[in-house]
Structure 1
Amino acid sequence: MSGPRRQPLPPKPPLDMLADLTNNPPPPPSPLRTAVRRFKIYAPVVVLLAVILAVVQLVRPLPDPKLTMTAKKTYTFDGGAPAMPWPKEGQAYMAAAGLGTVGSFGEQKPVAIGSVAKAMTAYVILKGHPLKKGEKGAMIDVDKAAVEDGKKESEGESTVNTLKEGGQISEYDALAAIMIPSANNVARLLARWDAGGDQEAFVKKMNDAAKELGMTNTTYTDPSGLDATTVSTAEDQVKLGLKIVEMPELIAITRLPNWTDASGKSWRNYNDLIPFNGSLGIKTGSTTKAGGNLLFAAEKKVGKTNQLVVGAVLGQHGVPILGTAIDASRQIMLATQKMLVNAPVVKKGDVVGYVDNGLGGHTPVIATADVEAVGWPALTVKVKLGDDGAKLPQTARAGTEVGVLTVGEGASQVKVPVALKSDLVAPGVGSKLTRVG
């Protein structure tokens, strides 16, 4: 009887087999030998991955260069805040375009503003029907109501009484009629023309525009301002005035001392500030209820800039009421113009920032000219550095203009180009290989 069959032994490892053939035992395992063996296996893989990573890093798109400002972000004029010659009653407000509020007087509460309301009428008309320079715009049919309203001067209304039913008046002349002789009948005509005969719809446009401009204490109930329920504040009217001075076609009208209508009749501007001391208008308004009121603007050359100031005086009841408002406005206007000065902020060649290439490289940029701020004592203005909408280059020679330094805002801002102080060079291989983001 035979015994159980033996299972064959598993094959020996290659080294053991080699040892059997050579009669040399395999080398005993050790950490060093294991490490060497693993290195030989994985090293090519690591090298391959490193090469792939390096290629990827080198061909990746470079980040867009950015301008970073190192100059101070604000500049404050020396001195204390100036005192203003405010009126004795009512309310007043003064501002400079792009610079902010100069000051205010009285409680800014809604009061009747009279024909100052026509400033909004003109604003809404021009927003909907812009005038091209040198042109008089659309021709507006004169209806019976405009002619009949023109006879109300006997009732104390300001009107233009030369209109003929069935005739026409240009948009330019209609605007001049409401802004210079303050014609109530033409203001109503413009409202009907713009809103398809619906004057109430036009008044809604006036209130919508006031809301858009942040005139939170203003309510318009008619396009002429005759209604005592049309109310506003000096502050709100200045908000409107700051927009009107951006309308050269309207300012070209309001700064006229007089206007001659199509019939040849001349009408004087009730704003006696015109044409003195850089005055630009804007609109008078006076009724027994409202007193004397004026929304005014003026300009002054300061350094290389043309500065615009806007103010409003409401609720003046001295005799005569409009004359009192105009005199008060004159004092405020002249004081504001006088206080406007320019001061050096940055000198030509000063480093104001740098171009950051996104990989750690910083190339300084310098102002290409002296930079002066415009303002008044104690005022703080903003200083900004930007690319002015242009894409920054990856490489450029020293002296290349790459941005703009801006001091101030709006109509009062001063802009000066900035240029590279040294060559802007592309990031090196080391920077590309070690970039993280």
Structure 2
Amino acid sequence: PPVSPRISVPDADAAERTRQQPLPPKPPLDLLAELTNTPPPAQTPVRTAVRRFKIWTPLVILLLIVFAVVQFVRPLPDAQLTMTSAPDFTFDGAAPQLPWPSEGQGMITVSGLGTVGRFGEEKPVPIASVTKSMTAYIIMRDHPMKVGSKGASIRVDDLAEKEGGYNKAGKDESTVDTIKAGQSLSQKDALSAVMIPSANNVARLLARWDAGSEAAFVKKMNDTAKQLGMTNTTYTDPSGLTATTVSTAADQVKLATELVKDPALVEITKQPYWYDSTGHKWLNYNTLVPFNGAIGIKTGSTSKAGGNLLFAAVKDVGGTKQTIVGAVFGQHKAISILDLVNKVSKDVLLATRKSLTSQTVIKKGDVVGYVDDGLGGKDPVVATKDLTVAGWSSLKVAISLTAGGGKLPHSAKAGTVVGKLTVGSGTGQVSAPVALQKDLAEPGFGAKLTRLG
């Protein structure tokens, strides 16, 4: 009989299995139960907690190790120097009572420390030949000269010779009449003529020599006054002969404070007299020099201005050299207004010198601050010497602590200098290094581990 063809019918179950995803592996306990025909233990909260503990504990330990390593190797924060002493110190007692005159205006200061006293209405008034202080300041600023040097050579022009005769021509001017056209004056001699016998003709000669014209020099004078903060000052000539050149005692003290910083100029202003090239002796109208430490600066007098004096002196106080700068303007109540202003200025200067004293503000070994390592460590620092500051009763001086150059160390031996303590300001300030009181150790592992931020 004929053989029927064999037809293969696909296994439905197998086809279905090929379309399904593989089954996930069973838990170890279930597999073990199949192999041993033992059912897995029932899940309980305790068994679940134990299993989670076994899984997470190694991970947590690893994370803690990584955290500890990171904390240990992280750069340390910058150490900071912090002051613990008072930020200022005030001398005991009431402010000094100075013997000011009954007219005019005045002011006296100690450079870098402050104003000792002042009187009168602070209003612009004619200052006469005190004007020459600005003329001399600009010449020395723009043509520096060392102590002992003669400086630049200045040719005397015809106008300077002509104006030299104004002291005898009824013009009521102070001049030097021994200079001749074509002659050369040294810078030192020219400034001596201006600052000692108050030569108007030489002041104007210097202006022309420096700026090309007197008008151009006057502009420099006013520009310089603005730079120095002399807000109540107007210059109209380099000698001060004109009454339109006005200023205040306070403004001129600002100028004088800068002027006395030039030792070559002070070497001129502190002289009681000057000899010119002909051998003539010219006296200084400022009779305060050279007594009581006086070092200048300039007188000025006219019928409108009265007697005026801008003066300076030095005094050693507590091992420091203090510079006193003062001005008294507008003295009219005497036949000789120059004698009067010299006298009242001397009285004020002597009283100020007497009021100056010194006091130890910080003693050697005093704890003045600490080094903060940023992780909770605070290591004390001490002054390495006594700090004695000059002043007068009621004066308040500032105290500051600053770190040395570069970053503060995180570890150092006791006695290592880490900063500087300063009392006062300007030329009156004193300072001393500060050092570690004990060994400074780097923050320990615990401090590094627990730090935040």
Residue type of the alignment partner of 2:72: L
1:57 corresponds, among 59, 71, 77, to 71
1:410 paired to 2:426: yes
* 1:419/1:3 CA distance change after superposition, 3 Å: closer
Which residue pairs with 2:85 in the alignment? 71
- The Cα shift of 1:327 comes to 0.9
1:177 corresponds, among 174, 193, 206, to 193
- The Cα shift of 1:29 comes to 4.8
CA deviation map 1:198-238 (0-9, x unaligned): 32222222112211221111111111111111100011111
* 1:165/1:69 CA distance change after superposition, 3 Å: same
- The Cα shift of 1:55 comes to 3.7
CA deviation map 1:263-284 (0-9, x unaligned): 3322211100011111111111
- The Cα shift of 1:23 comes to 2.2
CA distance in 2, matches of 1:107, 1:243: 24
1:14 corresponds, among 11, 23, 26, to 26
- Structure 1 window deviating more from structure 2 (345-354 vs 3-12): it is 3-12
CA distance in 2, matches of 1:244, 1:348: 36
**What does 1:1-400 correspond to in 2, within 5 Å?**
5=12, 7-8=16-17, 11-15=23-27, 16-29=30-43, 46-154=60-168, 155-195=171-211, 197-318=212-333, 319-387=335-403, 389=405, 391-400=407-416
Amino-acid identity (%):
60
Residue type of the alignment partner of 1:382: A
* 1:220/1:425 CA distance change after superposition, 3 Å: same
- The Cα shift of 1:14 comes to 2.0
* 1:406/1:26 CA distance change after superposition, 3 Å: same
CA deviation map 1:319-347 (0-9, x unaligned): 21111111111111111110111122222
CA distance in 2, matches of 1:227, 1:389: 53
Larger Rg belongs to? 2
- Structure 1 window deviating more from structure 2 (71-80 vs 13-22): it is 13-22
| Structure 1 portions without partners, runs of 5+ | none
Question: What SS is found at the alignment partner of 2:106?
Answer: strand
* 1:11/1:296 CA distance change after superposition, 3 Å: same
- The Cα shift of 1:388 comes to 5.0
CA distance in 1, matches of 2:132, 2:149: 22
- The Cα shift of 1:37 comes to 5.3
| Structure 2 portions without partners, runs of 5+ | 1-8
- Structure 1 window deviating more from structure 2 (151-160 vs 312-321): it is 151-160
* 1:17/1:307 CA distance change after superposition, 3 Å: same
- The Cα shift of 1:304 comes to 0.7
* 1:348/1:30 CA distance change after superposition, 3 Å: same
Contact 2:318 2:359 in 1 (8 A): no
Question: What SS is found at the alignment partner of 1:323?
Answer: helix
CA distance in 2, matches of 1:323, 1:145: 31
- Structure 1 window deviating more from structure 2 (368-377 vs 11-20): it is 11-20
- Structure 1 window deviating more from structure 2 (90-99 vs 385-394): it is 385-394
* 1:19/1:95 CA distance change after superposition, 3 Å: same
Aligned-residue CA RMSD (Å) = 2.4
CA deviation map 1:147-186 (0-9, x unaligned): 2222222222122222232232222222222111111122
Question: What SS is found at the alignment partner of 1:289?
Answer: coil
Count of aligned positions: 435
Contact 2:156 2:185 in 1 (8 A): yes
CA distance in 2, matches of 1:176, 1:239: 22
CA distance in 1, matches of 2:44, 2:163: 114
Contact 2:380 2:437 in 1 (8 A): yes
* 1:41/1:313 CA distance change after superposition, 3 Å: same
CA distance in 2, matches of 1:53, 1:191: 76
CA distance in 2, matches of 1:166, 1:394: 71
- The Cα shift of 1:20 comes to 2.6
- The Cα shift of 1:53 comes to 4.1
CA distance in 2, matches of 1:110, 1:326: 21
CA distance in 1, matches of 2:189, 2:59: 85
Structure 1 length normalisation: TM-score? 0.92
- The Cα shift of 1:123 comes to 1.5
CA distance in 2, matches of 1:308, 1:273: 15
